[in-house]
């Protein structure tokens, strides 16, 4: 049996007239990056991430029985028709797996804890919250057992935005098949079962170096990997980084953790700089921050490292025990590189609720 088939709901039409549900789903930050995919959102390599906590989306979803499916999207109570095409496309993609949706009018009212266009991507948390709401409806209709809900939400979230698959559970999650990741799958994310205690409360301070939406969408970025001259080497590097990171995260080996995480961030951006067309998403301030982090680590021996998403902002990762000193380092030396002095202190979290 095709593994996808297990996710096809047997519920086609439903008698339930109205169902309202609210879910909160966090953003996540990849340690080993997903950059490059095959059709139907199958990743070219496995990825591992920290599920965040403070940066999250809350979505209230109202399903009302209707002759034909319809979608309305609100952001903090305000109608946002411009968000609708992406949601409609997502619903189209998951129709096979959730046929009951075509008999509902769906109204989504969503809000993020982080400012809109602060440079923090909301697609992972937004799609994860929506997927949770849809699975909650499926459960209400008797179409899915409670134990299977999180996996299906991750499966659906993936079809909306690959990294959304990793925003359902926490604190450490992987997505994509890999021999050293138990029960790993290309179709959904799984919880990394035995991280060292250190990683259950890891901190992530997000420095907003540049506000505003991304110059290059991740859809285009993934696409450019298809003919990238270094793609084979990159996918192999990521798979090998997973092996080393799994070992480091089980043992609590921070030195190894830091080397892999920083290398991954720079490899991601190196792929962007060497694609055709090439592009650069880092800003001068991104490099200033990186240099300061390296100097600080060399001087103080604090296990502080950075990672980057597909943008200019810098995520600073460190164990909870070093929170106080890192917060003063940020306030005294890094805040000046943030747009309007803006940053967010976040930490690992348990996933969607």
Indicate whether 184 belongs to the interface with ligand PMV (CB under 6 A): no
Q: What is the C-alpha separation between 18 and 257, in angstroms, rounded?
A: 48
Q: Are 236 and 311 in contact (CB under 8 A)?
A: no
Residue 242, preceding bond cis, omega within 30 degrees? Answer: no
Indicate whether 218 belongs to the interface with ligand PMV (CB under 6 A): yes
Q: Which is nearer to ligand PMV, 144 or 261 (CB)?
A: 261
Contact string (CB under 6 A) for ligand PMV, positions 108-147, x = contact: ---------------x------------------------
Counting residues that bind ligand PMV (by CB under 6 A) gives 13
CB of 86 to ligand PMV, least distance (A): 12
Binding test (CB under 6 A) with ligand PMV, winner from 36, 162, 176, 319: 162
Q: Which is nearer to ligand PMV, 143 or 171 (CB)?
A: 171
Binding test (CB under 6 A) with ligand PMV, winner from 7, 25, 33, 307: 33
Neighbours of 308 (CB within 10 A): 24
Q: Is the dihedral of CA 330, 333, 338, 340 positive or negative?
A: positive
**Between residue 261 and residue 290, which ones bind ligand PMV under the rule CB under 6 A?**
268
Q: How buried is 38 (Cβ within 10 angstroms: 0-12 exposed, 13-18 middle, 19+ buried)?
A: exposed
CB of 184 to ligand PMV, least distance (A): 15
Q: What is the C-alpha separation between 250 and 231, in angstroms, rounded?
A: 29
Give φ, ψ of 75 to 5 degrees.
Answer: -115, 115
CB of 220 to ligand PMV, least distance (A): 10
CB of 298 to ligand PMV, least distance (A): 28
Which of 161, 203, 217 shows the shortest CA–CA distance to 319? Answer: 203
Q: Which is nearer to ligand PMV, 119 or 162 (CB)?
A: 162
CB of 136 to ligand PMV, least distance (A): 22
Which range touches ligand PMV (CB under 6 A), out of 6-14, 28-36, 176-184, 272-280?
28-36
- Give CA 9 to chain center in angstroms: 25
Binding test (CB under 6 A) with ligand PMV, winner from 161, 184, 205, 285: 161
Query: Which SS3 state, helix, strand or coil, does residue 327 take?
Result: helix
Which of 138, 129, 139, 130 shows the shortest CA–CA distance to 101? Answer: 138
Binding site for ligand PMV (CB under 6 A): 30, 33-35, 47, 123, 161-163, 218, 268, 309-310
């Amino acid at each position: 049996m095709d593994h996808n088939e297990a996710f096809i709901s047997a519920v086609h039409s439903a008698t339930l007239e109205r169902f309202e549900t609210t879910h909160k789903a966090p953003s996540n930050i990849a340690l080993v990056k997903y950059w490059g995919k095959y059709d139907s959102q199958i990743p070219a390599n496995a990825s591992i991430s920290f599920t965040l906590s403070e940066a999250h989306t809350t979505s209230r979803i109202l399903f009302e029985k209707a002759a034909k499916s319809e979608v309305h999207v609100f952001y903090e109570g305000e109608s946002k028709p411009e968000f609708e095409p992406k949601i409609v496309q997502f619903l189209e993609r998951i129709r096979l797996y959730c046929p009951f949706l075509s008999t509902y009018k769906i109204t989504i009212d969503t809000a993020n804890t982080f400012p809109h266009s602060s440079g923090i991507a909301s697609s992972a948390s937004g799609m994860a919250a929506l997927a949770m709401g849809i699975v909650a409806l499926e459960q209400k209709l008797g179409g899915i057992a409670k134990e299977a809900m999180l996996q299906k939400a991750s499966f659906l979230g993936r079809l909306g935005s690959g990294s959304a698959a990793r925003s359902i559970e926490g604190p450490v999650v992987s997505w994509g098949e890999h021999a050293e990741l138990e029960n790993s799958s290309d179709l959904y994310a799984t919880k990394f079962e035995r991280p060292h205690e250190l990683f259950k409360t890891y901190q992530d301070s997000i420095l907003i170096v540049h506000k505003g939406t991304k110059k290059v969408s991740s859809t285009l970025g993934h696409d450019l990997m298809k003919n990238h001259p270094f793609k084979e080497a990159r996918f192999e590097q990521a798979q090998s980084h997973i092996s080393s990171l799994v070992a480091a995260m089980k043992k609590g080996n921070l030195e190894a953790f830091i080397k892999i995480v920083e290398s991954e961030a720079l490899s991601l951006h190196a792929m962007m700089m060497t694609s055709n067309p090439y592009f650069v998403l880092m800003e001068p301030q991104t490099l200033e921050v990186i240099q300061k982090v390296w100097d600080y680590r060399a001087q103080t021996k604090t296990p502080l490292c950075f990672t980057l998403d597909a943008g200019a902002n810098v995520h600073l990762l460190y164990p909870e025990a070093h929170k106080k000193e890192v917060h003063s380092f940020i306030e005294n030396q890094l805040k000046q590189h943030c747009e309007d002095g803006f940053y967010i202190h976040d930490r690992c979290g348990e996933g969607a609720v």
